[in-house]
Copies of this chain bind each other. A is one copy, B any other.
Amino acid sequence: MSLVKLGVIGIGNIGSSHVQMLNSGQINGAVLTAVCSSNESRIAWVKSHVKSDVKIFTDEETFFNESGCDAILIATPHYSHPELAKKAFAKGKHVLIEKPAGVYTKNVLEMNAAAKACGKVFGIMYNQRANPLYQKIRDIIQSGQLGDLKRTNWITTDAYRSQSYYDSSKWRATWKGEGGGVLLNQALHQLDIWQWTTGVMPKRIRSVCSIGKYHDIEVEDDVTAFVEYENGATGVFIASTGEAPGTNRYEIVGDHGKIVVENEQLIFYQLIQSEREFNSSYTGGFGQPEYKKINIPIKSENSNHGIIVQNWIDAIVKGSPLLSPGEDGVKALEISNAIYLSSWLNETVELPVDVDQYYEKLQQKINSSTFEKKHVTNSTLDVTGTH
């Protein structure tokens, strides 16, 4: 097969980073042939950063109709992902979307249906799935070594953001512009890894999202969510952009022990005997099951965008399996939608959330918004070191 002709639409913070990666030939089997952005200053940036034979489009319809691409990488603002992906599928293109899959599950499910109908290769940039650290955790759990799930706990407060980050664009951290805050932006990878490593989605969620607690924004920058799983296990997810230095600690407890990751160190506390068996057979009153403390020397690798793109191209070229199928994008979004809905309704919500109810509540937020950011700087930020 000849090289996959690849187009990128959306040249903001992360899109620019992808263009540079593709333009420098880091992906085997693909070549950057087109770029699309409606932003003049970003087009100027593209012209000075890509090879001269890369076609540049400023209008998305022309891009889809005339670029001649086989595959499209969508890195536009969140809301547009499902709509653009559906357009690409309608043109028979393979698609890789940046996260989140969208902002509400209603149209993300439509996008997933379009992908299925089209049959093209559909991926999502959950690049943390390429992190060996999380792959190892998933292996331990999915292989049954941890035993039945009892409790999960993820404190992910290390994506600190100052007001200047939020002030870089008018649309950032607004209901209309992004449809959410820390959950949809900074902590979405963790929401995905949470369900991907354990292999289970929460069944019920109760949450408190604090709006503009630490910043001049109209969405949440601080979240605590309590979840319950089908088997009775419980979990807590805490995210914030207002703490420094933040924490990134993920703990998963099962019947055969406990996994803890913090400061990029993975420890598996493995019981010699199932806790449930010990509990019913031990007669000594105080006393607890024996365990081995296993330090697993795996290096965390955060910036794996290239691995996800290569994996997607390989799936197109060789038919190899996707690490991060596009259809999976709905899962973390489902969790984030449920967390928002629980906070808005001030009650426990069941998953899956009612797609129409969520859509309507979000529209109310957008339509009733009177929020105006005090200082907008309109700057493109360097994403080096972010995920």
Contact = CB atoms under 8 A, between A and B. Distances in A.
B243 A258 contact: yes
B285 A244 contact: no
A385 B258 contact: no
Contacts of A289: 160, 244-245
Contacts of A215: 279
Interface stretch (A161-169, A193-201, A304-312): A161-169
A271 interface: yes
Contacts of A288: 160, 162, 244-245
A242 B279 contact: yes
Contact of A236 (B160, B213, B224): B224
Given A236-B236, A285-B168, A286-B382, A162 B279 contact: yes
A185 interface: no
A29 B238 CA distance: 50
Interface residues on A, range: 35 or more
A234 interface: yes
A284 B160 contact: no
Interface stretch (A149-157, A175-183, A324-332): A149-157
Nearest to A258: B245
A280 interface: yes
Interface in A54-102: none
Interface string A224-254: 1010100010101010101111010101010
B240 A238 contact: no
A45 interface: no
A355 interface: no
Contacts of A351: none
Copies of the polypeptide in the assembly: 2
A171 interface: no
A291 interface: yes
A24 to B, nearest CB: 22
B162 A243 contact: no
Contacts of A161: 286
Contact of A286 (B208, B234, B269, B381): B381
Contacts of A168: 285
B151 A243 contact: yes
A153 B160 CA distance: 18
A267 B278 CA distance: 34
A153 B283 CA distance: 33
A298 interface: no
Interface string A104-141: 00000000000000000000000000000000000000
A284 B150 CA distance: 42
Nearest to A380: B285
B163 A280 contact: yes
B163 A279 contact: yes
A381 B284 CA distance: 8
B243 A247 contact: no
A282 interface: yes
A222 interface: yes
Which of the listed residues A163, A168, A276 has the most CB atoms from chain B within 10 Å of its own CB?
A163
A216 to B, nearest CB: 9
